[in-house]
Amino acid sequence: MKPRRSTVIFSVFLLILILAVKWYTSNSERVETYYSTGFYQSFSQIPRLLFGWIPFSLGDLLYAAAGLWIIYKLVRIILVVKREKRGMIWQKIKYNSWNLLIAVSILYLFFQLSWGLNYSRQGIGQQLELPRNVYDSSSLAHINELLAEKVNITKAAIAGQQYPSTKALFERANAAYDIAGQHYPFLKYKLSSVKSSLWGWVGNYANFTGYYNPFTGEAQVNTTVPKFLQGFTTLHEIAHQLGYAKEKEASFVGYLAARQSNDSLLLYSTYLDLFVYANRNLYWVDSTAAIQFRNRLSKPVLADIRTWQEFNRKHQGFFEPFIAWAYGKYLQQNGQPQGMLSYDQVLQLLIAYEKKFRDI
């Protein structure tokens, strides 16, 4: 059972396209100019226009369907192995492997065209002309001090307030980007498509609070996590929609949106998340200083952190380390060699921003 000549030709064509993508992404300025701030800005609105109005996550259903299809195929392969002769089994495996390779290649190319090329862009640091200095322990301590103060102030500002509904939270995040877009034209957000994840309960055990689906253009938020985490997650996922693929850039763009909004709830969620990153990084180099800055947090903030820690403890899953490892490898393959620690690298952008503008 050999592949048809047309299949072979099509496979070679796909290989040429994949090599062309590799060549195109070798120049970040080219990607930034012609794709990220050009083609992508128009193309990315198409799936949001098509699927944004649907009240549930279409992408989550597609992922579920893909999972069921894979299980179905595995069962069929097992049944074939049981009843076919050894020679025929290898013929079918080769044939199906060829078809699988073609399918994966098509998905890879669509992923790159629809969003993935953004991993190779110059990014928000270049757009804001931020200095590229590597931060040291003194800079890290300084940013801890500033963030601890901001966390306390914004927590006090929302004291007594009830957290908004999911719909209201998404609307506030959209409004934050409307304001940010007035200050930074490259952050204009049109045709909102932000939705609650259908698999939030899975995310709790896999340790994710949100994700972006590049195939449907939907930003997914895990709305089963503590409320005070959801604001920053929403801003972060919208940043992915805008073409900021790297985690540190999506977090920093989310910070910019929160800062421009003056929305205390979004600001608290953002500053708290950033403080946790900063304090963890400082602890690795100066544990005494890290503990001192943590002790500056107000009692209500410390109570939220304990709630966060307890939530994570209750949802420790057997598969979490494997998922973290796999996702870390995915990040490394997409221009983020630090893997899961790429999220912490938002501090590099934040420190550079503070050095340039003298405020966070």
For residue 218, the SS3 value is strand
pLDDT at 335: 56
Q: Which two tokens stand for residue 274?
A: 């950033």
Q: Are strands 210-213 and 194-196 parallel, antiparallel or unpaired?
A: unpaired
Q: Are residues 53 and 27 in the same domain?
A: yes
Q: Are residues 102 and 142 in the same domain?
A: no
Residues 6+ apart with CB under 8 A from 243: 36, 37, 40, 41, 44, 115, 118, 121
| Residue 191 DSSP symbol | S
Give the end of a domain, one of 120, 137, 160: 120
pLDDT at 93: 66
Q: Are residues 31 and 49 in the same domain?
A: yes
Q: Are residues 203 and 275 in the same domain?
A: yes
Q: Are residues 242 and 347 in the same domain?
A: yes
Q: Are residues 143 and 48 in the same domain?
A: no
Tell me how long the chain is: 360
* Amino acid (one-letter) located at 239: A
Q: Are residues 115 and 145 in the same domain?
A: no
Q: Are residues 78 and 137 in the same domain?
A: no
pLDDT in tens, 74-122: 777 677 666 665 556 666 666 667 778 888 899 999 999 999 999 999 9
The alpha carbons of the chain give a radius of gyration, in whole angstroms, of: 23
Q: Are residues 239 and 353 in the same domain?
A: yes
With a cut of 60, say whether residue 203 has pLDDT above it.
yes
12-34 in b/e form (b: 16+ CB < 10 A) is eebeebeeebeeebeebebbbee
DSSP run (H or E) holding 39? none
Q: Are residues 103 and 179 in the same domain?
A: no
80-96 in b/e form (b: 16+ CB < 10 A) is eeeeeeeeeeeebeeee
Contact 251, 278 (CB under 8 A): no
**Residue 275: domain span:** 126-357
pLDDT in tens, 143-180: 999 999 999 999 999 998 899 999 999 999 999 999 99
Q: Are residues 205 and 312 in the same domain?
A: yes
Give the end of a domain, one of 73, 94, 120: 120
Q: Are residues 108 and 139 in the same domain?
A: no
Give the end of a domain, one of 92, 120, 148: 120
Q: Which two tokens stand for residue 48?
A: 């949001």
Average pLDDT in the 232-243 region? Answer: 97
CA distance 231 to 151: 14
Number of independent structural domains in the chain: 2
pLDDT in tens, 11-48: 899 999 999 999 999 999 999 999 999 999 999 999 99
CA dihedral 102, 334, 339, 294 (to 10 degrees): -130
Angle at 106 between CA 100 and CA 109, to 5 degrees: 140
